[in-house]
Each structure stands twice: as structure tokens, then as C-alpha cells.
Structure 1
Amino acid sequence: MDRIRTFMEEQFLIEFDETFPEESNLFMEGVMDSFGYVQLCRFLEQEYDIQFTEEEMTGNVLTSLAQIKKYVAAKVAAKTT
């Protein structure tokens, strides 16, 4: 899951730390817009060999790094069962 953090820090020019925790809402903080969101989803799909449904893409499940890590981990785990 460190690859997700690295990708986001490089792509969105941010650094997650005590002043910008992983739980921060990336949209509300102005870090990510819809174009960045699509780039992030593409990265996650390619990197982890997963697919997001339209409902998942529009369901506000990928709004913070913490949520993204948790959601991707669950999708990867579901793929192996």
C-alpha cells in the first residue's frame, strides 16, 4: 500500500504527515479534482489488477488515502478468495 501513497504524493504534489493526515478528504482539501481521480483509479486498476464499478467510482469511497488503502486491500483480498 506504500505504492499508493508514493503515487499520490508524486502525482498531486502533497506530503502526508501530521499536518495533512491520511484521513484528509482530498477533494475538500483541493488536492484532487475529477481528472486526478480518474488518473488515480487507472493507477489502482493497473497496479493491483482490480476493476472499479461505476457505483464504486461515484460512491465517495476513494476520498482519502486511508479510505483508498482500505478499499483497495479489500478488493485485492476479494479477488483471491
Structure 2
Amino acid sequence: MSRIRDFIEEQFLIEFDETFPESSDLFKEGVMDSFGYIQLIRFLEKEYGIKFSEKEMTGGVMVSLTQIEAAVAEKVSQRGTASA
């Protein structure tokens, strides 16, 4: 999941640390807007071979690095279960 962290830090010019924890809301902190969110979703789908539904993208669940990583891990595990 470090690829997700690296992408967010490079794309949005931030650094996660004790003053900006991984649980920070990227929208409320002004780090990411809707255009950046779409870029992130495209990266995640390409990088991990997963697909997010419109409902998943607009549900407001993936606003922090912690939530994004959890959502990707869930999608990847579902993909593995579906192909097994």
C-alpha cells in the first residue's frame, strides 16, 4: 500500500507525518479536490486491477489515506475471491 501513499504525496505535494496523519480528511484539509479524486481513482484502478462503482466513489468513504488503503485492500480481496 506504500504505492498509494507515494502517489498521494507526489501528486498532491504533501507529506504524511505526525502533523498530518494518514487519517486526515484530504478534502477538508484542502489537499484534494474532485479532479484530484478522479485522478486517484484512475491510478488505483490501473495499479491494482480493480474497478470502483459510482456509488463507491461518491459515498464519501475514501477521504483519508487510511480509508483509501482499506477500500483498495477490500476490492483486491474481493477480486481474489471472485477469481478463485
1:29 equivalent in structure 2: 29
| Partners of 1:57 and 1:69 in 2: CA distance | 14
| Partners of 2:76 and 2:50 in 1: CA distance | 7
- Alignment: residue pair count: 81
Higher Cα radius of gyration: 2
Q: What does residue range 1-81 of structure 1 map to in structure 2 within 5 Å? A: 1-81=1-81
Deviations 1:30-61 (A, max 9, x none): 00000000000000000000000010010012
| Partners of 1:59 and 1:71 in 2: CA distance | 12
* Aligned-partner residue type, residue 47 of structure 1: E
Divergent runs of 4+, >4 A: none
Unaligned runs of 5+ in 2: none
Tell me the TM-score normalised to structure 1 length. Answer: 0.99
Tell me the TM-score normalised to structure 2 length. Answer: 0.95
Unaligned runs of 5+ in 1: none
Deviation, structure 1 residue 28: 0.2
Deviation, structure 1 residue 7: 0.3
Deviation, structure 1 residue 63: 0.2
